[in-house]
Amino acid sequence: MKNNSTRRSEASFLKWTVADALHVATHHWMPCLFALGLLFFMGVEYTLHMVPPSSPPFDLGFLATRPLHALLQSSPHLNTLCAALNTVFVGMQTSYILWTWLIEGRPRATISTLFMFTCRGILGYSTQLPLPQGFLGSGADFPVGNVSFFLFFSGHVAGSVIASLDMRRMQRWELAWTFDVLNVLQAVRLLASRGHYTIDLAVGVGAGILFDSLAGKYEDSKRNPPFTTKHTFTL
């Protein structure tokens, strides 16, 4: 009984003071903001009217890009041009990631991309979301030729994040910011063309960060003991 009483008296929250609360509020305002966000979205979640099975998914990004969607729908040539430019950007991502491995001998970005696309394939096949209403396809879009694709999650966005994170590690700041701006424009275009849901793009950002981190941990695990292979693939 004494041990249990001692443990209760040593509980961390029993030692909190008003000064501690003020310190948390002033020095750790971001977790406090997230705590308010938790309470707010609990209220939203438990009171909203759920989308019925017969209706299309509600997507805030689609509402925000209605004017752009109408513009692309009314101008097929502009839609094709945007798709072609987006495909060029995908080629830039791919070229940079392969360059870091084949030319610079740094495989982390390539490893993270392989991790990411494998996971994307598993998740995309496991839950196959319906094609958004009003989807504006183009033969110039990647993958070229109006072929089928997984909606969840966006490999376009995730690949750009992986490339941008590598650029930051190498202090290629201007190139990284350029990729970030192009990634934002890419996301807006994908929403406007109804090529992805908002959740696909948001998770794409998180996936890029996650798999870049996992690739770094993989490299660290192979350095102890040292792991090397011939030619340009070295860790």
Catalytic residue (choose from 200, 212, 220, 231): 200
Structure tokens that stand for 68 in this block: 């752009």
Catalytic residue (choose from 59, 156, 166, 212): 156
Question: In the annotation, is 20 catalytic?
Answer: no
CB 82 within 8 A of CB 189: yes
Question: In the annotation, is 180 catalytic?
Answer: no
Q: Where are the alpha helices (DSSP H) in the chain?
A: 2-9, 18-27, 29-45, 60-64, 66-74, 76-102, 108-126, 155-169, 173-192, 198-223
DSSP annotation of 14: G
Question: In the annotation, is 69 catalytic?
Answer: no
Residue 8: count of CB within 10 angstroms of its CB: 9
Catalytic residue (choose from 196, 212, 220, 231): 196
Q: Which residues belong to the active site?
A: 156, 196, 200
